[in-house]
Amino acid sequence: MPCFLINPPTFPPNPAPRDYRDPMATSSKSETFLEVDGHEVRISHPDKIVFPEPGLTKLDLAHYYVAVADGALRGAGGRPMVLKRFVKGLSQEPFFQKRVPDGHPDYIDTATLHYASGTSAEEAVLRNAAGLAWVSNLGCLDLNPHAVRAEDLEHPDELRVDLDPMPGVDWSQIVDVAFVVRDVLDDHGLVGWPKTSGSRGLHILVRIAPRWSFTDVRLAAETLAREIENRAPGLATARWWKEERGESVFVDFNQNAKDRTVASAYSVRPLPDARVSTPLDWNEVRTRRPDEFTVPTVLHRFAERGDLHEGIDDAIGSLDALLALADRLGPAEKPPPTGDGAGRRASTMPLIEVARTKTKPEALAALERWKAEHPDAAADLHPADELVDGMRGSSSQWYRVRINLQHVAEAERPEQEALIADYDPWAGRA
């Protein structure tokens, strides 16, 4: 599925594997048009630098997605997706757009999802490389599809294993847990397909028959996580509450909830080096590192090796064995309620809240300010005691900063104080 550009893209430090120039394409400083699969795709401000470190422009990113379209569509094609738009660049928080923009081109399909909250949204569904270029132009660096196909919105066909390392966890521990995941999946008749998350962790995707509800799939994923924790205690955890995980790899089963999306294969992540969520062969998992996979290197890798997840749609499994294990394990332990009648859980850890902020830099600055004001307590903290959580607001992300004082002597623990920053993501909204 070729795409033709006026100027050949540049991907420092290596050239792109193919030349996509078309002398008939029109271009200006404000826009250019790509011919993709018989569709004309407008790219606004094509020379705008999106990733300053490698010098990648909007046009470069559109070209990248077209070049890896076979793999990107295998992960995201045919699925409704949330548009995560970085319209103000990497330095600003993105906003999340569930509803497909008005006036979208006719090569963009849609599907209407209904949520437990009672709301619904008509979301974009990509079917071809032109769609990839179109969402790239909207400022979508990564692709965030749901685990369902547009033809059956109530029965996921993918179980997602998200290995999320806590602070202080190195890559070797993530890899050790990944191979435990593979063993548990194999023991229950399922095949896992690994990929880098594009950040610090690993994703392992499992194709399943679309026979089970979201509730069943989430239960199967939670059961999988609990079994992984049982087999690798101290290395992996299925504990939902972050302050209880310690320095372990969290097997994030809640990524299988109905409203969740995960960055799919070949997604460009919002890191300075333009890192890519990249499919791996199991033989590579121990030897490769996430920072090896960037837009330039993945272009060459894809041209040479194709999509390493090419066979994923032929490896469809059943959840029967995991659901049977769920029955044997019984319900997961739940934290006790607070006793105030509100149904909130009571944390087993001595937590204090430091700040709520609009951006991550503000959150990190607040954390450093608290540590400077409480140097004795800060000296006793472990990496996993500093909890900086990205929280989903109404249309954008905000950040909560907490401190777990478990490693500070009880008599020396600072009291809860007024928040250093108190951002309200719902201010002014009904």
Across the range 164-175, mean pLDDT stands at: 93
Lowest mean pLDDT among 93-97, 126-130, 240-244, 260-264: 240-244
- The band of 418, judged by pLDDT with boundaries at 50, 70 and 90, is very high
Q: Give the pLDDT of residue 58.
A: 96
Hey, which bits of 86-201 come out as E strands?
Answer: 95-97, 109-114, 120-125, 144-145, 158-165, 193-196
Mean local confidence (pLDDT), 130-148: 97
Q: Is the pLDDT of residue 13 over 50?
A: no
Q: Is the peptide bond before 13 cis (omega within 30 degrees of 0)?
A: yes
Work out the pLDDT band at 305, boundaries 50, 70, 90: very high
pLDDT at 11: 45
Q: Is the pLDDT of residue 95 over 90?
A: no
- The pLDDT of residue 337 is 60
Q: How confident is the model at residue 5 (pLDDT cuts 50, 70, 90)?
A: very low
Q: Does 241 or 396 have the greater pLDDT score?
A: 241
Between the CA of residue 228 and those of 181, 182, 224, 257, 346, what are the distances in Å? 6, 10, 6, 19, 26
Model pLDDT, residue 89? 83
Cβ atoms of 149 and 78 closer than 8 Å: yes
For residue 398, what are the β-bridge partners?
391
DSSP 312: G
User: Which residue ranges form the domains of the chain, and what is each CATH number?
Assistant: 3-145 (no CATH), 158-329 (3.90.920.10), 351-422 (no CATH)
Q: Which 8-state DSSP code applies to residue 290? A: G
CA 182 from centre of chain = 20
Q: What is the pLDDT of residues 313-345, one digit of tens each?
A: 999 999 999 999 999 999 987 655 655 555 566
Confidence grade of residue 33 (pLDDT, cut at 50, 70, 90): very high
Q: What are 46-64's pLDDT values in tens digits?
A: 999 999 999 999 999 999 9
Q: Helices in 357-396 by DSSP H: which ranges?
A: 360-373, 375-380
Neighbours of 419 (CB within 10 A): 15
420: three-class secondary structure by DSSP = coil
Distances (CA, A) of 101 to 83, 107, 123, 197, 279: 10, 13, 9, 27, 30
What integer pLDDT is reported at residue 394 of this predicted model? 62
The per-residue pLDDT for 20 is 34
Residue 387 phi, psi dihedral angles, 5° rounding: -105, 105
pLDDT tens across 379-405, in order? 998 888 888 888 876 667 789 999 899
User: In which region does residue 160 sit, left (phi positive, over 0), alpha (psi from -120 to 50) or beta (all else)?
Assistant: beta
Contact predicate 238/229, CB 8 Å = yes
What is the pairing mode between strands 249-251 and 158-165? antiparallel
Question: In terms of residues, how long is the chain?
Answer: 430
Which has more pLDDT, 426 or 237? 237
Q: Count the Cβ atoms, other than its own, within 10 Å of residue 340.
A: 8
Average pLDDT score over residue span 294-300: 98
Burial class (CB in 10 A: 0-12, 13-18, 19+), 170: exposed
- 193-235 per-position pLDDT tens digit: 999 999 889 999 999 999 999 999 999 999 999 999 999 999 9
Where does 156-302 show beta strands of DSSP type E?
A: 158-165, 193-196, 202-207, 236-237, 249-251
pTM recorded for the entire structure: 0.83
Residue 353 has pLDDT above 80, yes or no: yes
